[in-house]
């Protein structure tokens, strides 16, 4: 659900909680993009009043998105790229004003790359409930205050419906492809099942047909970690004095999540049982290098994400079930008749290969018959964001159909 960030290249001896805080200073109460912040490469579209699957509505929804390439006169070359849980619309490009990090799929999206923007018009929206410009808990409600805990429950289908409204606003009647991994893969699968007439091809990367009890359980402890932070204040922390937001709870949730995003073999090979520093040996107040690695990522995360948004999106993931109201997952997957890339990662312990095997066995359009395309990676679930060569070759195969 995450991407390889510049922190991954920092020598482990540097990554201590004290060094990270000293380098970065105290984080804000929320890492959300806020009104008045630099827009960067973002564009914005208001899609108006939006009804929600579980009842209720949002009186107005604004979607932040980025585009690369040129839409052709027939609007037939548009590709929707859906991001993962902690991603955003900055699919490709440099860091800069408005963008704390470089594009999360720089290796795959751009001129001459697997998703070649000399040929394709790429649209990458920030998902509904997110915190980087699209309407979410950190956005202002009609009363002028942040939605916060008042933000309604949303599902993956609600997020897809918001993307559908964006497509209509852009004049795109049919996507040449919808591509997504992890939470974005849930959305691409919902696109194929809900609006098959609007999708020419689909890629579902490292995602399930429904969230399992095990996956919901993993999310539940992250939800509780955020809510137990005294600074969370039932979700009303945006005006906290001195920016005292729920940093500790959000960072802890992030550290928990990272244990599922990477494989055990990668962590073992990368860190072994090494101490953080020769100056602080283990047993003398020192720490293991892997502990400091998790701390650094957790603390970094609080600077670019919002705690309420994290809760909203985790609960949307928990709601994921492509078979809900459709007679079960097998019946729903029968609608996936367009060319479909179902990609699995052999070391994925968040959404294991069996999840993709189920999709592949029931999706008639699967490029690989009744099985997913399996890639080998040491990086676990994050392999779909890191293994550019392996993943890119398969996306090229899909786009060539």
Q: Which residues are catalytic?
A: 182, 348, 381
Q: Residue 252 in 3-state DSSP? A: helix
- Angle between helices 156-170 and 307-318 in degrees, nearest 10: 100
Nearest to 249 by CA among 319, 304, 310: 310
Do the Cβ atoms of 141 and 150 come closer than 8 Å?
Answer: yes
- Angle between helices 247-261 and 213-227 in degrees, nearest 10: 160
Q: What is the DSSP letter of 366?
A: B
Cα 121 to chain centroid distance, Å, stands at 21
Taking the C-alpha atoms of residue 288 and residue 273, their distance in angstroms, rounded to an integer, is 7
Nearest to 50 by CA among 181, 160, 146: 160
The H or E element spanning position 355 is helix 353-362
- Tokens coding 356: 């993709």
Burial code (b: 16+ CB inside 10 Å, e: under 16) for 301-316 equals bbebbbbbbbbbbbbb
């Amino acid at each position: 659900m995450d991407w390889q960030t510049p922190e991954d290249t920092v020598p482990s001896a540097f990554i201590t909680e004290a060094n990270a805080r000293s380098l970065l200073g105290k984080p804000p109460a929320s890492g959300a993009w806020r009104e008045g912040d630099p827009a960067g490469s973002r564009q914005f579209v208001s899609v108006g009043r939006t009804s929600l699957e579980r009842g209720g509505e949002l009186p107005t929804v604004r979607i932040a998105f980025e585009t690369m390439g040129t839409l052709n006169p027939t609007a037939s070359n548009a590709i929707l790229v859906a991001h993962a849980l902690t991603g955003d619309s900055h699919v490709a490009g440099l860091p800069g004003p408005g963008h704390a990090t470089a594009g999360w799929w720089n290796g795959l999206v751009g001129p001459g790359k697997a998703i070649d923007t000399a040929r394709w018009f790429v649209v990458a929206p920030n998902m509904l409930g997110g915190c980087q410009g699209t309407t979410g808990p950190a956005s202002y409600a009609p009363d002028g205050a942040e939605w916060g805990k008042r933000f309604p429950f949303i599902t993956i289908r609600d997020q897809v419906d918001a993307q559908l409204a964006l497509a209509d606003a852009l004049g795109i009647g049919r996507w040449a492809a919808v591509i997504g991994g992890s939470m974005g893969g849930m959305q691409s699968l919902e696109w194929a099942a809900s609006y098959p007439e609007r999708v020419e091809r689909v890629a579902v990367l490292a995602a399930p047909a429904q969230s399992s009890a095990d996956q919901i359980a993993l999310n539940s402890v992250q939800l509780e970690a955020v809510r137990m932070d005294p600074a969370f204040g039932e979700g009303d922390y945006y005006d906290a004095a001195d920016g005292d937001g729920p940093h500790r709870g959000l960072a802890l949730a992030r550290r928990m999540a990272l244990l599922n995003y990477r494989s055990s073999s990668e962590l073992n090979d990368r860190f072994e049982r090494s101490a953080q520093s020769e100056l602080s040996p283990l047993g003398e107040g020192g720490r293991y290098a892997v502990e400091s690695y998790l701390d650094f990522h957790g603390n970094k995360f609080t600077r670019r994400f919002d705690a309420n948004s994290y809760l909203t999106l985790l609960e949307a993931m928990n709601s994921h079930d492509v078979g809900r109201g459709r007679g079960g997952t097998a019946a729903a997957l029968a609608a996936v008749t367009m060319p479909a890339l179902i990609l699995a990662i052999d070391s994925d312990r968040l959404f294991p290969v069996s999840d993709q095997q189920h999709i592949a066995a029931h999706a008639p359009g699967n490029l690989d018959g009744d099985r997913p395309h399996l890639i080998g990676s040491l990086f676990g679930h994050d392999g779909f964001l890191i293994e550019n060569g392996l993943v890119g070759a398969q996306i090229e195969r899909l786009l060539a159909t």
